[in-house]
Amino acid sequence: MSDEKKDFIREIIASDLESEKHAAPITRFPPEPNGYLHIGHAKAIGVNFGIAAEYADLGARCHLRFDDTNPVKEDTEYVNSIKEDIAWLGYDWKEHLYFASDYFDFFYDCAVALIEKKLAYVDTQTPDEIRKQRGNVNEVGTPSPHRERTVEENIELFKKMREGGFQDGGAVLRANIDMESFNMNMRDPVLYRVVHAHHHNTGDKWCIYPMYDFAHPLEDAKEHITHSLCSLEFENHRPLYDWVVENCPVPSQPRQIEFARLNIGYTVMSKRKFIQLVDEGHVSGWDDPRMSTLSGMRRRGYPPEAIRSFVKTVGLTKQNSLTDLSLLEFEIRQHLNKVALRKMAVLDPVKVIITNYPADGSEKVEVPNNPENEECGSRELTFAREIYIEREDFLVDAPKKFFRLRPEGAVRLRGAYIIKHVGHEVDENNEVTEIHCEMIPDTIGQPAPEGVKCRTAIHWVSDCDAIDAEVRLYDRLFTEELPDSAEGGYLNCLNPASLKVIHGAKVEPSIAAMTQGERCQFERLGYFCADLKDHDLTKPVFNRIITLKDSWGKKK
RNA sequence: AGUCCCAUGGUGUAAUCGGUAACACAGCUGAUUUUGAUUCAGUCAUUCAAGGUUCGAGUCCUUGUGGGACUGCCA
């Protein structure tokens, strides 16, 4: 275990180890396979797998357990995507892959044990009647008329439930706890319900399914989970969790600890909303690069390392918070700055003709692949008479502090010559169509000669070997920091500019070697990722992962 | 309205037994720079409120205030 500051959960674990309550922590990540994982899950994954990794030398481990107790919502498609996302993040559950549905017999036996202890009974009232009797936060509940059934009766009825003797909603097994409890979860909660549905794992073997509150503590106990970490919303469920552990024949006593879930601005974080965004066509799919799903972030090009360090920096507390996106963005940029190879791409090209350079001439110039890391080597670029630069890098009416190309001004082409503006052409809309420049000889690798003002270097590509590419620029999906609080709901504040597709981008030839998912920096523009699905050598497609920081853009 | 949980710079967090409130991000200023990036230096800014205990309170107590969870046969 490292010397780093421990959060409250790691403190508890350390103290449980100290007191020898446990020899090693055993944690679990227990998703329901009913949707794709999102950045919020990454926090839970990082916490649970992270803790296990920190105590690996003691034999700690983290289970991946699919909490599949509701057949109507779950599907194998999701178990596969969840596994893929966890592996992508860099975590390994090793042989500890479990399904709650593999424990159905165990749950059933525990239910029977509760019945025998008079701690559970079958209620054959309608859902509506049961709801009314539960009362509300101000009023105590009233006991079910079926609460006093005999053990024999209950055993009989429970068996009938299992054997298909009831329609959906016809009967439930309830815990016999306290209808007057301040905690609604303790007012004789439902333990089992009848659902005649096909289960992705158990098929049609069962027509009764355990509720989360009953199943979860039993799953944890069965797997000898020591610390069952979940989000704050389950705080009020903990007494029931403990009740189940205490009253059922279980092999271990897990402890539930709650922590605050991750909230991030300008995005939504619920399966229901993701589904709506996909179904209504606001995004292209679960893996749309604007989505905060892990599959979306992967496709966008976010490095898993950055997500992991992000999760680490947001910490672990019981405080509800709204984390600023800039914390994640910092981690992404920091990681990519170190590893991404630099390339040149012009997104909005305007042609520059070097009038004093021979039309049939060309030469190789050498540029570093990553100035941050010499070991990344360098590559050759071809300089020729006709090149492209970014339209916004030439301003006819440039402000004083504009460092790039202006009429009669000079600017360096990154890795190549300093060029000097001698003229340009415009179309009927006064849009620049072509720029004429002269190169200043002997300025490659050399400082600007006396009398030439040149404050920066701009990126460029040669017309002769540039590759056309599609580039997709992404912005936040919503215009409000809290989309859910927006007037008219989150769909009402969708950002119309969240996706901008550029078709005529010109990119240096070295991208021909890039494969799907590979990341690079397009100098001065940002970090980009060859699209995981659409990119190929005949039709390159890049996603902008994130822009570079831009203190000039802000001042403008 | 009841029960439970939470409250530290703009954001996320830290602060050992009650003993100098700190770190990262963001912002701002400057230096360096063949990426207006990076890097470097500096800077702004913090204990929800009121009482109490104490030599001393972010930390303990009381009362407020603000936020969150709970009234599924979802998880």
DSSP A294-329: HHHHHHHT--HHHHHHHHHHH---S----B-HHHHH
CB of A320 within 7 Å of some strand B atom: yes
Query: What distance in Å separates the CA atoms of residue A158 and residue A119, rounded to the nearest whole number?
Result: 13
Active-site position among A149, A271, A342, A544:
A271
A131 CA to B55 C1' in angstroms comes to: 59
Q: Could you tell me which residues come within 8 angstroms of residue A100 by beta carbon, excluding any fewer than 6 positions away?
A: A30, A65, A66, A67, A68, A69, A215, A216, A219
A550 CA to B31 C1' in angstroms comes to: 18
A292 dihedral zone (left: phi>0; alpha: psi -120 to 50; beta): alpha
Active-site position among A10, A28, A32, A222:
A32
pLDDT averaged over 10-residue windows placed end to end, chain A, 556 residues: 79 94 97 97 98 97 98 95 98 98 98 98 98 95 97 98 98 98 97 98 98 98 98 97 98 97 95 94 97 98 98 96 97 98 98 97 96 93 98 95 96 98 97 97 94 94 97 96 90 96 97 96 98 96 98 78
Strand B: list positions under 7 Å from protein Cβ.
1-8, 10-15, 24-28, 34-39, 67-75
A122 CA to B26 C1' in angstroms comes to: 57
The nucleotide whose C1' lies nearest the CA of A232 is: B69
Written as six digits, the tokens of A413 are 């082409």
Rg, Å, chain A Cα set: 31
The verdict on pTM exceeding 0.90 is yes
CB of A432 within 7 Å of some strand B atom: no
A17 CA to B55 C1' in angstroms comes to: 38
- Write the DSSP symbol of residue A187: S
Q: Are A396 and A527 in contact (CB under 8 A)?
A: no
Phi, psi dihedral angles at A8 (to 5 degrees):
-60, -30
Residues 198-217 of A with CB under 7 A from strand B: 209-213, 216
Query: What distance in Å separates the CA atoms of residue A186 and residue A134, rounded to the nearest whole number?
Result: 10
E strands present in A7-153: 26-29, 61-66, 97-99, 120-123
CB of A554 within 7 Å of some strand B atom: yes
The per-residue pLDDT for A511 is 95
Query: What distance in Å separates the CA atoms of residue A269 and residue A261, rounded to the nearest whole number?
Result: 10
Residues 63-92 of A with CB under 7 A from strand B: 67, 69-70, 73
Q: Are A100 and A218 in contact (CB under 8 A)?
A: no
The per-residue pLDDT for A553 is 81
CB of A194 within 7 Å of some strand B atom: yes
CA distance to A12, A22, A54, A99, A545, per residue, from A224 (Å) = 17, 10, 18, 15, 41
Active-site position among A6, A261, A273, A391:
A261
The per-residue pLDDT for A52 is 97
A271 is catalytic: yes
The per-residue pLDDT for A486 is 87
CB of A183 within 7 Å of some strand B atom: yes
A3 CA to B37 C1' in angstroms comes to: 34
Q: Which of A35, A44, A27, A103 lies closest to A69, judged by CA?
A: A103
The per-residue pLDDT for A262 is 97
Q: Are A469 and A541 in contact (CB under 8 A)?
A: yes
Query: What distance in Å separates the CA atoms of residue A490 and residue A480, rounded to the nearest whole number?
Result: 8
CA A184 to chain centre: 33
CB of A193 within 7 Å of some strand B atom: yes
A518 CA to B47 C1' in angstroms comes to: 46
A223 is catalytic: no
The per-residue pLDDT for A3 is 58
The per-residue pLDDT for A556 is 61
H or E stretch at A522? strand A519-522
Tokens 């909005």 appear where?
A348
A529 CA to B4 C1' in angstroms comes to: 47
A152 is catalytic: no
